[in-house]
Amino acid sequence: MRPMLRLENVTHAYDGRRVLHDVSVDLAEHRIGVIGANGSGKSTLARMLNGLVVPDSGRVLLDGGDTRRHARAIRRRVGFVFSDADTQIIMPTVAEDVAIGLRGSGLSRAEVDQRVRAVLERHGLADHRDHPAHLLSGGQKQMLALASVLVTEPEVLVCDEPTTLLDLRNVHVIEQTLRALPQQVILLTHHLDTLAGFDRVLVMDEGRIVFDGAPQDAVDHYRKLMEPPAAPERRP
C-alpha cells in the first residue's frame, strides 16, 4: 500500500510573516507535482513532508505518525532532494557520498558496497565511483544527489526543483529517472512540461493551494494566475 501523507490545517510563519495559511491536503498518488510563483510556499510545504520544517499550527502526518514526534522515522521513509546538488554533496568521492546515506543503517560493509554499486550503475555513475564528487558536471551532481537519497530506499521522494540549475538535456535525464521510480514522487518544479503524465498537480499561491487537479488543468490555472495585469488604458 502506498504511504499517505496528510497536512491538517497547517499554518506557518517565518519571523512573524505567514507563508502557509491553513493548508489541508492528503497526498497519496504515485506522482504529484507542485507548482506556483516564487515565494508561494512550495518549499516550506515540501520541507514539512519529512519534518525538516515543523508547522506552527496544524499537523503533518505520514500514515498517522506526526512529524513533530516521529521525525527520525519519517525521514527514513521520506527522502528529500534539493535543487542545488552542491548543498547535498558532503563526501570527497562519488561512492563515499552515496554510502554516507547508509551510515547507521545496520547493513554490513559488503551490503553497503553492493547497494552503492547497484545505485551508481542504475543512474549512470558507475564509471565515476572514485572521482571527486565536486568535479562532476551539474547534471551528474544532481544525479548523484538523487542516487544518494535513493540508496536509502525511501518510500516517498520529495524533490524541490531538482532540474532548476540544469540544461535541457539533463532536465530530460532527471525527468526520465523520476518517471521510472516505483515509489511515490512529489516534485516541485518550474519546468511545467515535466508534469505531463503526473497523477495530480497542486498550484500554490500566497501560501494556499489554489488548484488541485490534472496536470494540464493545473498548468492552465497557473499560467492564468501569472498573467501580468492589463495595462491601464491610455487617454488621448
Ligand X SMILES: Nc1ncnc2c1ncn2[C@@H]1O[C@H](COP(=O)(O)OP(=O)(O)OP(=O)(O)O)[C@@H](O)[C@H]1O
Chain residues binding ligand X by CB under 6 A are 14-15, 19, 36, 38-44
CB of 18 to ligand X, least distance (A): 9
Closest to ligand X by CB, 113 or 205: 205
CB of 52 to ligand X, least distance (A): 10
Q: Which DSSP state fits 195?
A: G
Q: Which residue has the cell 540549475?
A: 165
| Strand-pair partners of 105 | none
Q: Which residue has the cell 496536470?
A: 215
Q: How far apart are CA 211 and CA 202, in angstroms?
A: 6
Three-state DSSP class for residue 29 = coil
Closest to ligand X by CB, 41 or 154: 41
CB of 226 to ligand X, least distance (A): 12
Closest to ligand X by CB, 15 or 227: 15
Closest to ligand X by CB, 40 or 140: 40
CB of 204 to ligand X, least distance (A): 6
Q: Which DSSP state fits 152?
A: T
Q: Alpha helix locations (H) across 100-183?
A: 109-122, 138-150, 168-180
CB 4 within 8 A of CB 158: no
Q: Residue 185: is it exposed, middle or buried by C-beta count within 10 angstroms (0-12/13-18/19+)?
A: buried
Closest to ligand X by CB, 112 or 188: 188
Q: How far apart are CA 101 and CA 148, in angstroms?
A: 6
CB of 108 to ligand X, least distance (A): 39
Q: Which DSSP state fits 68?
A: T
Residue 38, CA distances (Å) to 49, 206, 225 in order: 19, 9, 13
CB of 186 to ligand X, least distance (A): 13
Closest to ligand X by CB, 134 or 224: 224
